[in-house]
Amino acid sequence: MDNLIALSGYQIKLLMRNAKSLILGFSLPIAMFFIFSNLLDGYRVGGGMSLTELLVPAYIPIIIVNGVLVIYGQTFMLYKEQGNLLKFKLLGISGLTVSSGLYIATFLFQIAASVLLVGFAAVVKQVEIPYASLPNLAAAFLLINLYQFALTYFLTSLIHKSVTYQGVSQLIFYFQIFLGGLTFPPEMFPNFLREFVYIFNPIVYGLEMMRGLWSGNGNLLDYGKEAIILIGVSMAFVAAGIGVQRKSRGLK
């Protein structure tokens, strides 16, 4: 436990030095909210809530995707490529502890960036914060984290160069946010594109959970289908990652 706390603190310090990741993580969702809240002002979903109200639960997943897929994944790849995992192992610190320390640092970053986004939306656009739904939103937040972690686990098992991972992760990052309903609501997509998104971009199910819970429509149990899909896809990615690692060890 002491090693985990120390590694998490150390990684937080390193993260604070990485200006590019911090600027992207904190400013991108806020900048997007400011632009699209004005661009989509007056539009409503099915005659219900305004799109401005639904932008916050759509942009929180962007923070998660950036935190896990981009920041955590890239840092883990660098650790693996530079032999830091082996160095820590020689010091008696397991790879799981190192990985957990890296993840905790990025998870705290996600929370800070999400709070900043919500506060900005509340002050600038008077977006109402659904305090009663916060426990359910927190559970949805964790489920999206699970999915992104599983995707990252598979990619870091498949890819062995940090430069390659950086390019692939950025591509998947933009695929998820632009073709997952996180930038423009799925309701604005043509039918064929909407069908494609629901088949090939599971982040849209996390979006539906966040949006529904944010608008006060039920609790997490009412989004069982979405939760099961995210958990199922996550398990598939983890299983695929384990299979790739075993195959790599067998070849060696």
> What is the reported pTM?
0.90
CA distance 62 to 201: 14
In terms of Cβ atoms closer than 10 Å to its own Cβ (0-12, 13-18, 19+), residue 155 is: buried
Contacts with 242 (C-beta within 8 Å, 6 or more apart), sequence order: 157
Number of domains in the chain: 1
Q: Give me the tens of pLDDT residue by residue for the chain, a chain 252 residues long.
A: 666 676 677 677 766 666 666 676 678 888 888 888 887 776 666 556 677 788 899 999 999 999 999 989 998 898 888 887 777 777 677 766 778 888 888 898 899 999 999 999 999 888 889 999 999 999 999 999 999 999 999 999 999 899 999 999 999 999 999 989 888 888 788 899 989 999 999 999 999 999 999 988 788 889 999 999 999 999 999 999 999 888 877 665
> Residue 18 is part of which domain span?
2-251
* Residues 3, 93 contacting (CB under 8 angstroms): yes
